[in-house]
Amino acid sequence: MTVRIIYVRHAESLWNPIGKYQGRLDPELSERGRKQAPLIGKALKKYNPTALYTSPLKRTYQTAEYISKELDLPINIDEDLIEIDHGDWAGMLVEEVKEKYPEMFRRWLYEPETVDFPNGESLYDVLHRVRRFQEKALEKHDGETIIAVSHTVPIRASLVAGLDLPLSKFWSFGCDNASYSILDYEEVRPILYKSNNTYYLGDLFVPALDAL
């Protein structure tokens, strides 16, 4: 049977609008993010999800709390959904990274699979984690629809993994704040059913900044 995973990127955090790399650092949702998050739950109600998972970081957990209230689902924390460890980039603005790590920044945009963040993780580390989450979901939730609240890097990596694409295709998927994407794991083949949906945000929509 099909297992449907709805990947939700957390609502806007305090650092998203200013273009600061977050990684494992833990800013909370912004005022706009707290207005976006309830709208996600309302938009997902029609899919009748049966389980809700989230990364443990504040920006994801707080987003999951709003979804939980709307859908009456308990929250399950899963460390495999946590954001990539940006290492030395964490807490830096995009412009600061461009200046201090120009070659690595170029590779992050054009050859992301080659980047191993200093004192952090690589995309392959994240790919391993999200594949593990997918395997757990397929084993535990046969025939169900579940929600996974995560971050831009794990979500893009999840779509790459689910569709069995090379990691070089990482940037091929949009992933705005408070968006959702749906991957159906069917017996014959996986299907990307929805991608980067944000229609329900209205005037609260803000496009993601480049390179984040």
Catalytic residues: 10, 151
Q: Strand 190-197 to strand 180-185: parallel, antiparallel, or no bridges (unpaired)?
A: antiparallel
Beta-bridge mates of residue 4:
145, 184
Length of the chain equals 212
Alpha-carbon gap, residue 88 to 98, rounded angstroms: 13
Q: What's the rounded Cα separation, in Å, for the pair 61 and 58?
A: 5
Side chain identity, residue 47 = Y
| Secondary structure element (H or E) that encloses residue 180, with its range | strand 180-185
Written as one letter, the residue type at 124 is: Y
Q: Quote the DSSP letter at residue 8.
A: E
The residue type found at 106 is: R
Residues 6+ apart with CB under 8 A from 86: 21, 22, 23, 24, 117, 120
For CA atoms 70, 47, 195, 192, the dihedral sign is: positive
